[in-house]
Structure 1
Amino acid sequence: MPTPDLDTARPEQRTRAASRTVMWFALVLLAALWLSVVRVPWPLPLVPGVLGLVAVVLGVLALVRMRGARLGASMTVLVVVGTVFAAGLVLLTSVQAVLWPVYSEFYGCLDRALTHQAQDTCFSELEQRTQTYLLNFGR
C-alpha cells in the first residue's frame, strides 16, 4: 500500500511521521554521544562525528515534520538543543580529524600507559604535540 504524501496526510499520520523521525534522531544522537565518551581504538573516535552529522540532518528533518504536525514546543526545544549538541560534536570530531597524526600517537601512548602518571604524561605530550602541529600546520 503506497504511503500518502505528508502534505496531504491526516494529522495522525503527520504526528506519527514526526515522532518516528524524532525517535531516530534521538537514537543516533545517543549513539554518537556514547561513542564520544567511550574509549574506543583509533580511528573509531571519528565515528561520533559521522553519527553527529546524521543526527543534524535528522534533527532538521524532525523539526520540519514537527512543524507540519504542530507538535508541542517542549519537544521542539529538545530537538533544537540536541541538534546544536550534534553540530558541536561534528565540529569537535572535525578538529580531531585535522589533528589525526597527533591523536594517533596519543592513543598509542594511552594504550602503553599503565599508571595514572603515565596517562598524565600522555596528556601533556598531546598538548605539546598539538601546539607544535598547529604552529607548523600553515607551513
Structure 2
Amino acid sequence: MSRDQPAAPPNEEAVRAATRPVLWFSVVLLVGLWLSVTRPPWPLPLVPGLLGLLAVVLGVVGLVRMRRARVGGAMVVLVVVGLGIAAAMVLLTGLQALLWPVYADFYACLDRALTHQAEAACLTGLEERAQRMILRP
C-alpha cells in the first residue's frame, strides 16, 4: 500500500472486538471510582485499587486492540485519561495499604464521629499519625 492510497476502513468485527475490553474497562473504572467515594467498612477501601489495577490491564488491552483495528479519535483519548485515573487509584490505594493501621483507626474514628467537628478531628489525627509513621527515624 502506498502513501497516496487512503487506508481501508476498519473491519466491523475488529472494531467490535477492540471496543469490548474498553466497555469492561469503563465499567470496572466506574465501579472503582464509586467505591472510592463511598465509605465502605475497612478494609473495603482497598478494593478500588484492585479494580484500578484491573482497569489498567483492560485499558491497555483495549488500546492495543484499537490500534490493531485502526480505531482512533475521542475513544482513545478517553481511555488514556481513564488509564491515568486508574493509575492514580492504584497509587493512592497502595499508600493506604502501607499505612493500614493508621487508616483503620481513621475509619473507626469516622464511624464514631457524629459532627463535622469530630470528622475534622479524625482527619487531623490521620494526618498527624501518618506523618509520624512516615517521618519517624
- TM-score, structure 1 as length reference: 0.89
Once the 2 structures are TM-superposed, how far is the Cα of residue 67 of structure 1 from its aligned partner?
0.5
Tell me how far 1:135 sits from its aligned partner. 1.7
* Superposition pairs of residues 75-94 of structure 1, within 5 angstroms: 75-94=75-94
Seq. identity, %: 63
Q: How many residues are treated as equivalent by the alignment?
A: 128
- Deviating beyond 6 angstroms after TM superposition, the runs of 4 or more aligned structure 1 residues are none
- Number of the residue aligned with 2:48: 48
- AA aligned to 2:37 is V
User: Which residue number in structure 1 is paired with residue 101 of structure 2?
Assistant: 101
Equivalent residue number for residue 11 of structure 2: 11
Aligned to 1:5: none
Query: What letter is aligned with 1:79?
Result: V
Residues in 1 aligned to 2:78 and 2:110: alpha-carbon distance in whole angstroms:
36
User: How far apart, CA to CA, are the structure 1 residues paired with 2:64 and 2:109?
Assistant: 45
Tell me the distance in 2 between the aligned counterparts of 1:121 and 1:114.
11
One-letter identity of the residue aligned with 1:48: P
User: How far apart are the structure 2 equivalents of 1:76 and 1:106?
Assistant: 38
The alpha-carbon deviation at position 25 of structure 1 amounts to 0.5
Q: Tell me, which stretches of 5 or more residues in structure 2 are unaligned?
A: 1-9
Deviation digits for residues 75-118 of structure 1, max 9, x if unmatched? 11110110111011100100010000000000010111111111
Structure-1 separation of matches of 2:72 and 2:53: 25
RMSD between aligned residues: 1.1
| TM-score when normalising by structure 2 | 0.90
Distance, in Å, in 2 between the alignment partners of 1:92 and 1:69 is 33
Structure 1 unmatched ranges of 5 or more: 1-9
Q: What is the deviation of 1:21?
A: 1.0
Shift of 1:69: 1.1
**SS of equivalent to 2:40:** coil
